[in-house]
Chains A and B, each alone.
Chain A
């Protein structure tokens, strides 16, 4: 398993646990009367699961298993794969902080961080597609 794949898959496993713990927290709010910040975690919970765990696992395995790009560069551009990793995770972590904060106490600084998070995740998605598209080949 290449190092890029190991990094994506291990990070995905961490998100898997964190996402389900977040879901637990959201469900615990009415029972334990947790602060309103926890309500703002609902979309975060969902996206930690679908972006951090599911999508990131797919990205790691696709990088490893998809048809080769070229003989001298079997997995495409590694720089693009690492860029995907950095953009997606930085963006998602920013969302984890800024989205609940913006929900309970809207402020321009949270707003800017949320917009930055959107931009980073979007670019991360594009970087993955750019590196993967040429590897989708019929045989």
Chain B
């Protein structure tokens, strides 16, 4: 897989690990109470698993397998930008909310996430097309 896909997928696996850890702690705590503060992990749990894991994995695999222009993946700069925006956004919005950060921090996180969506869409748009022939005619 290309370098950017490997980065997206590795980051997705890290978010899966952290998100499952937060969820596991909350579920344990729901059965055998450890500490009420563990409930504060809920926003980080949700952001890490919905966006950091599921969405990020989809972006990584899409960058890898969408049709190419012969061997080129087109303009990859917006896709790289999406990588940094989505990860910054997930941490600001998810960890921000879990740590009780002020509302503008969470807003900034969501702005970065939306920016990631836009940047990735700009990259992927022209790649949603019929497959190129394997070799140049």
**A-to-B contact residues, CB < 8 Å:** 50, 54-55, 58, 66-67, 95, 98-99, 102, 110-115, 117-119, 121-122, 125-126, 128-129, 132-133, 136-139
**Contacts A136-B6, A138-B3 given; does A115 touch B31 at CB 8 Å:** yes
Q: Which of B17, B31, B32 is the one whose CB lies under 8 Å from A125? A: B17
Cβ-defined contact, B31 with A136, below 8 A: no
Report B-chain residues with C-beta under 8 Å of the C-beta of A95. 27
Report A-chain residues with C-beta under 8 Å of the C-beta of B30. 99, 102, 114
Q: Which of A54, A98, A133, A139 is the one whose CB lies under 8 Å from B31? A: A98
Interface residue? B39 (CB, 8 A) = no
Cβ-defined contact, A50 with B54, below 8 A: yes
Return the chain A residue nearest B65 by Cβ. Answer: A65
Shortest distance from the beta carbon of A125 to any chain B beta carbon, whole Å: 4
Interface range, B side: 20 to 34
Shortest distance from the beta carbon of B57 to any chain A beta carbon, whole Å: 6
**Contacts A112-B32, A118-B25, A118-B27 given; does A138 touch B13 at CB 8 Å:** no
Cβ-defined contact, A115 with B54, below 8 A: no
